[in-house]
Amino acid sequence: MKGASDITSAANGAAANNVALDASLDKFPMISDGKEKMEIEKTVVLFTEPGKPLSVQANYCPDITVDPDQIDNSGMTLYVEGETSIFGTQPTVSVSGLITATITGTLPTTLTEASIVVSKGNMSRKMRVVVSQPFLFNPKINNANPGTVGTGQDAVANLTFTIPADFPTGLFPFDVKIKTQGLYAAQSGLQLNVIGGEIYYIYTATSSGQKSLAFKTNNANNHETVTLSANGFVNGTVNY
């Protein structure tokens, strides 16, 4: 493929590049060769519950030089690469470009995935479908669960947790909600939300690995259960 000066150029492509077959562009929802254009609503989807429905939209524009808003999804084709066993009902694409399927009723014991490829004209888009047991945070406060925290106000209560290495990279960034009534953030970069009278801090995860967040107690002699939640994860709890 010819070199591109930036991400936009790479995604838009050029007539000399076979963008439909270029694996380096799989992460982009939209591609174009300068005339045809195809886009897909999501490039990665994660399921951690059995039997759930899949519904993702794909759109094809036959000639953006004539009418960039014209969509014609009739005649779109679909095939599946990888582990088709993750589907209870195999994927199909409708005349409107809607991709549908259902996930198997029994989750595999290890992370398993397949790719759905939809095509029309000279364009195609690929979507990874990842099926896994729910991921675990394994949270700790001051390196233990339950954690030991000083009895005074403003006692250090450092929260650590893990984003597993096999969490799909295409789903970053994502938000982790941290529910606590007795701690306040002792660092920048956390958003504070109050939902239904309860306090949540929002941490935006951008990569896998262990995360460490600085908190302190807002009163003396605090004791509580801190809960972490995010899509695809078992709620993680840590006491102090």
Question: Which residues of the chain are in CATH 2.60.40.10 domains?
Answer: 7-131
Q: Which of 155, 189, 152 is nearest to 173 (CA)?
A: 189
How confident is the model at residue 22, as a pLDDT? 73
At residue 236, φ and ψ (nearest 5 deg) are: -100, 130
* Cα–Cα–Cα angle for 122, 128, 133, rounded to 5 degrees: 170
CATH number for 7-131: choose from 3.20.20.10, 3.90.1150.10, 2.60.40.10, 3.20.20.70.
2.60.40.10
How confident is the model at residue 195, as a pLDDT? 84
- Tell me how far CA of residue 159 lies from CA of 142, 167, 221, in angstroms: 7, 20, 18
Fold of 140-239: Immunoglobulin-like (2.60.40)
Model's pTM, two decimal places?
0.87
Average pLDDT of adjacent 10-residue blocks, the chain of 240 residues: 43 48 84 97 98 98 98 98 98 98 97 98 97 98 98 98 97 97 96 90 98 97 97 98
Residues facing 131 on adjacent strands: 47, 112
**HSE, side-chain direction, 13 A CA sphere, residue 59:** 12
Residues facing 45 on adjacent strands: 129
How confident is the model at residue 19, as a pLDDT? 59
Helix (H/G/I), strand (E/B), else coil: 69: coil
How confident is the model at residue 7, as a pLDDT? 44
